[in-house]
Amino acid sequence: MAHARAMLDNHPREFGFSAEHLAAAIEACFDCAQTCTACADACLAEDDVASMRRCITSDLNCSDVCVATGRVLSRQTDYDAAVTQRALESCIRACTDCADECEKHAQHHRHCAICAEVCRACVAACAELLGDEVEEEMRALQGG
């Protein structure tokens, strides 16, 4: 059981947007970071490792970007909205690429099927939060 929501609910500052969406994206990033590390390792142990190279690179890249994004999202003290947005966009791309690659091997390797699902869930959570961030920004620009 992750604690991202509990930590947000006890943060001294108030946030401009949904703590539910924010906690969901943070937890999805950390879950995806772990799952992709495990998937890279499982791919490496497969007999057909030579055909898993692209998948392993996607896993490793996705894991690194997810750790960075999960941490950036965990910081709500005087942050820059554009840094968060670029991090979310980078994370959505890395997770989409990793899901696409893993899906190619999902029939033969169950760990790739699980990893693809976890990546898609992270894309969905980050996209929802990115929508909130952009909306909030529009409101601020419109003087509201």
Q: Which of 17, 19, 67, 127 binds its own copies (CB under 8 A)?
A: 67
54 binds its own copies (CB under 8 A): yes
Given phi > 0 = left and psi -120 to 50 = alpha, else beta, which region is 116?
alpha
12 binds its own copies (CB under 8 A): yes
45 binds its own copies (CB under 8 A): yes
58 binds its own copies (CB under 8 A): yes
CB of 9 to its own copies, least distance (A): 9
Say if CB 120 and CB 68 are below 8 A apart: no
65 binds its own copies (CB under 8 A): yes
107 binds its own copies (CB under 8 A): no
Concatenate the DSSP letters of all residues of 24-41 into one string. HHHHHHHHHHHHHHHHHH
**Dist. CA 35–CA 99, nearest whole Å:** 12
